[in-house]
């Protein structure tokens, strides 16, 4: 690998108000970044020993039938049944079959994106992955609009769409789904118990209104395999975040991977406050020790990969 100036030189370790310590890495000397194709190929090869993202991105129709019992990944003692609707929406072939893209963007949901003006830069990628149905229209200047794959944790229906309590929320949710225009909607329905009703509401809307999305439901082995890959590389994550899952999978389909909106810290490198999400008022307590995620550790890992040229983290302004 080519030697690069270390963007973390002179790193400052800060303390945030919640007592989490973190480094303000990643947005130094970004202009010196060069893509390290050799390392990126090696990472892809190593990840393929743990999972095949093309296959594991979704369970396929032939492998299950309605009524089959599934154990949740994180709540092993709880089960759910494959509903008729879920069965109808299982893909028959992998929605990522034979897809290869030169430059992909993965957009995390950190408030670091606000006032970044990164929208058009993000949209210029060949394939754009977004997380948890985060809104784009009102923030397009900073986050762009293009969406080729978007994730939806069942909890999103509650957090962002008020559990569809009224006709108005139903309509809002439906409009958001309709705006996806043919992209992949990736629903981790079997991770943790408690979301089956919400998944079912979403599936019912998609079917009733013939919404143009390609649904995908990750296989049970995906989470374990992703965690296994990172553990083997000495990254001791409790439960990979959606963002890390997307990066791990994207290595299979993308040549160069660019990450935007990954910044799990309450202040930026200049000490200015940063919202947890660019679009709502969730607070940073969410990333505390009680959270199943280890976002700052993930971030340090991604920063290290950035420094080595395997991926590019964009944490500053795109102006």
Q: Classify 313 as helix, strand or coil.
A: strand
Cβ-proximal residue to ligand CTP, closest one? 243
- For the question of residue 209 being annotated catalytic, the response is no
On whether the CB atoms of residues 258 and 311 are closer than 8 A, the answer is yes
Helix, strand and coil percent figures for the chain, each rounded to 5:
35, 15, 50
Which is nearer to ligand CTP, 121 or 280 (by Cβ)?
A: 280
CA distance 242 to 292: 12
Active-site hit among 125, 258, 277, 293: 293
Measured CA to CA in angstroms, residue 36 lies from 40, 83, 255, 311, 315 at distances of 6, 45, 10, 8, 19
Question: Closest separation between CB of residue 144 and ligand CTP, Å?
Answer: 15
Question: Closest separation between CB of residue 261 and ligand CTP, Å?
Answer: 6
CA distance 42 to 300: 20
Question: Closest separation between CB of residue 90 and ligand CTP, Å?
Answer: 21
Q: Which helix (H) or strand (E) holds 17?
A: none
CA distance 180 to 45: 31
Which residues of the shown chain bind ligand CTP in the complex (CB under 6 A)? 108-110, 131-132, 153, 241-244, 261-264, 276-277, 293, 295
Q: Which helix (H) or strand (E) holds 129?
A: strand 127-130
CA distance 98 to 317: 34
Question: Closest separation between CB of residue 295 and ligand CTP, Å?
Answer: 6
Question: Closest separation between CB of residue 52 and ligand CTP, Å?
Answer: 21
Taking each continuous run of H as one helix and of E as one strand, the counts in the chain are 11, 11
Q: Is the dihedral of CA 289, 14, 132, 312 positive or negative?
A: negative
Question: Closest separation between CB of residue 44 and ligand CTP, Å?
Answer: 20
CA distance 113 to 143: 7
Which is nearer to ligand CTP, 119 or 243 (by Cβ)?
A: 243
Closest CA to 157 of 201, 216, 207, 214: 201
**Phi and psi (nearest 5°) for 10?**
75, 25
On whether the CB atoms of residues 186 and 180 are closer than 8 A, the answer is no
The catalytic site residues sit at 293
């Amino acid at each position: 690998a080519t030697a690069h100036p270390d963007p973390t030189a002179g790193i400052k370790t800060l303390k945030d108000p919640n007592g989490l310590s973190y480094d303000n890495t990643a947005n130094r000397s970004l202009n010196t970044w060069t893509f390290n194709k050799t390392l990126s190929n090696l990472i892809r090869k190593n990840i393929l020993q743990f999972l095949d993202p093309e296959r594991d991105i979704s369970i396929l129709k032939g492998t299950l039938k309605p009524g089959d019992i599934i154990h949740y990944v994180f709540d092993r003692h709880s089960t759910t049944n494959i509903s008729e609707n879920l069965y109808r929406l299982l893909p028959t072939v992998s929605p990522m079959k034979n897809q290869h893209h030169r430059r992909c963007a993965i957009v995390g949901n950190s408030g670091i994106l606000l006032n970044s003006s990164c929208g058009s830069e993000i949209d210029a990628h060949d394939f754009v992955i977004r997380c948890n149905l985060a809104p784009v229209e009102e923030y397009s200047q900073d986050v762009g609009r293009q969406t080729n794959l978007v994730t939806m944790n069942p909890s999103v229906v509650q957090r962002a769409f008020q559990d569809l309590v009224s006709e108005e929320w139903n309509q809002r949710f439906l409009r958001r789904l309709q705006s996806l225009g043919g992209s992949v909607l990736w629903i981790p329905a079997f991770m943790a118990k408690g979301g089956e009703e919400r998944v079912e509401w979403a599936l019912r809307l998609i079917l009733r209104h013939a919404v143009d999305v390609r649904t995908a439901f990750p296989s049970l082995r995906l989470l374990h395999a992703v965690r296994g890959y990172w553990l083997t590389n000495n990254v001791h994550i409790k439960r990979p975040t959606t963002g890390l899952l997307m990066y791990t999978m994207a290595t299979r389909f993308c040549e160069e991977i660019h990450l935007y909106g990954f910044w799990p810290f309450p202040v930026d490198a200049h000490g200015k406050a940063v919202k947890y999400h660019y679009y709502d008022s969730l607070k940073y307590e969410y990333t505390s020790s009680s959270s199943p995620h280890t976002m700052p550790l993930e971030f340090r890992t991604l920063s290290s990969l950035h420094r080595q040229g395997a991926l590019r983290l964009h944490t500053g302004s795109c102006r």
